[in-house]
Amino acid sequence: MSLPVTDTSSTTGTTRHVDTLVIGSGFAGLGAAIKLTQAGKRDFLVLERGNDVGGTWRDNTYPGAACDVPSNLYSYSFALNPGWTRSFSPQPEIQRYIQSVADKYKVRDRHVFGCDVLSAQWDNDRNQWRVHTTKGDYTAKVVITAVGALCEPSLPDIKGIGDFQGEIFHSAQWNHDADLTGKRVAVIGTGASAIQIVPQLAKNVSHLDVYQRTAPWILPRSDREYTKAEKFAFKYVPGFQRLSRTLQYVTRETQVVGLAKAPVFMKPLQAAAEIHLRRQIRDKDLRKKVRPNYQIGCKRMLISNNYFPALSQSHVDVVTDGIDEVTADAIVSKDGTRREVDAIVVATGFHVTDSPMFAGIIGKDGRTAAQVFDAQGQQGYKGSSIANFPNMFFLVGPNTGLGHSSMVFMIESQLNYVVDALKTIERYDLGTVEVRQDVQDRYNRELQEKLSHSVWNNGGCASWYLDKHGNNTTLWPGFTFEFRNQTRRFDLVAYNSVATSDLPSPAPSAVADKKKVAAK
């Protein structure tokens, strides 16, 4: 199917113009493509740097990769999957689901794969975005960034790490050609990825060192294979799977009371985590090492049934002294101990509040998103708009993250808002819309006031939820249905808008370019 684009000359051959560009095709970007199509929008493209849809679920293929949100909840509400095999889905199954949704809704033809976005700059003369990519240049009236928070691996700043001569790779860039069987391996980090990787590595390596900076709270993982009866009901009994999803949603929402409203209500969960720890680790010294010293929920709560047993094995050591340096064949901890290793797995998470992507987005005053965030913190309006960046919408933007439930719910809420924004722009023939700075400031003051009562701000830990200003710019401070209600409709009154007819004429060079296009 041909795409509705306009071609103009450029150094790469063409500059393609579309009404709307979507950047990224994980759950958010793919959802945007589907919702735009359903809204009758056809003049859009999705730019995806990978070779397929899926985002983080395409990229994270490390051993043991799986979701920590129940399967029936971790899916689009408009595309439930009766084919889930387990209550918590492994990575390959989630990736197949995302691919199947792309095929079902026939949006692959709207994608440009292998297209890495290098920069996006607002053109004040033409009142449009100029987007530079590895596959040429694009212009667009509207840009929707759907670059997830867990897409840019964060590498540790450790002396000598570049001199290591063995295998070394980040958990999100797993080297499947590296055979670690019988090797001495080190895992740096004890976050969500690490607790899934460690038990798998422990099965085959000769020795495993787990470098822990901060111990995580770990709860039992109630994972099981679905019975034949459940699978039959999901597929053939009307409403059964949606009821299951609803019950899981409601159960998860009860955690918000303790997480965001009154941390005292987290005590039952912490007691459950304490019991889990005592049952799975008998050695008192090891148990003391891996017991967190902060309130549960302050950092991301993790679930696992096999992480603690893996740590208890004789060939696995938990190192808490910190890393001083890495040599060609060893890791030296701060107490001077030198531990030889053949391979290092870096499981140190992602750039969330400081994504490199922000340095490539240039707003109307010439400042990048990185510069704006550096000065004031990662602030936005309803997680979807940011002052100084007209006609740009963010999916999984500031303060939309969750510590208890499915991000897909938040993504769908934002999609409601963004699609209605595009309809509003079309309905009133608006040339530009930009959230008002005073509205954004007031919104963020209210957010931080709510967050000041949360366990994330008062649980006694330092986490990636907080930026360098000490503000929690990552998480939503309430029930997810509250966010859904906020984003049902686009509130034009919160924005500065200019009608297309009132926009100033383009600069002479822009007019000349348009004449060249017309001549073609």
CA-wise closest residue to 465 among 211, 195, 260: 260
CA-wise closest residue to 405 among 253, 219, 221: 253
Can you tell me the distance from the alpha carbon of 477 to that of 112, in angstroms, rounded to the nearest whole number? 36
Please report the pLDDT score of residue 282 as a whole number. 95
Token pair, residue 27, equals 């759950």
Q: pLDDT tens across 14-32, in order?
A: 899 999 999 999 999 999 9
Residue 520 burial class via C-beta count within 10 angstroms: exposed 0-12, middle 13-18, buried 19 and up: exposed
pLDDT band of residue 511 (cuts 50, 70, 90) is very low
Token pair, residue 118, equals 């290098």
**E strand map for 24-127:** 44-48, 111-113, 117-123
Question: What is the reported pTM?
Answer: 0.92
The answer on pLDDT for 163 being more than 60 is yes
CB-hemisphere CA count at 13 Å for 271? Answer: 5
Q: pLDDT tens across 100-150, in order?
A: 999 999 999 999 999 999 999 999 999 999 999 999 999 999 999 999 766
Say if residues 73 and 405 touch (Cβ distance below 8 Å): yes
Q: Which residues contact 514 (CB under 8 A, 6 or more apart)?
A: 506
- Residue 187 pairs in a beta bridge with 210, 345
- DSSP secondary structure letters along 457-520: HHSS---TTB-TTS-B-SB--S-HHHHHHHTSS--GGGEEEEEGGGSPPPPHHHHHHHHHHHH-
Task: Quote the mean pLDDT of the chain.
Answer: 92
Find tokens 């929402």 and name the residue.
253
Can you tell me the distance from the alpha carbon of 123 to that of 374, in angstroms, rounded to the nearest whole number? 23
Mean pLDDT along residues 275-303 = 97
Can you tell me the distance from the alpha carbon of 457 to that of 263, in angstroms, rounded to the nearest whole number? 10
Can you tell me the distance from the alpha carbon of 13 to that of 6, in angstroms, rounded to the nearest whole number? 12
Mean pLDDT along residues 159-172 = 94
pLDDT band of residue 507 (cuts 50, 70, 90) is low
Mean pLDDT along residues 335-358 = 85
Q: Which residues contact 231 (CB under 8 A, 6 or more apart)?
A: 82, 83, 85
Mean pLDDT along residues 429-454 = 97
Please report the pLDDT score of residue 306 as a whole number. 97
Please report the pLDDT score of residue 466 as a whole number. 85
- At 233, the amino acid letter reads A
Mean pLDDT along residues 327-344 = 97
Length of the chain as a residue count? 520
pLDDT band of residue 515 (cuts 50, 70, 90) is very low
CA 382 to chain centre: 16
Q: pLDDT tens across 447-465, in order?
A: 999 999 999 999 998 887 8
Mean pLDDT along residues 224-231 = 96
Token pair, residue 262, equals 């009154």
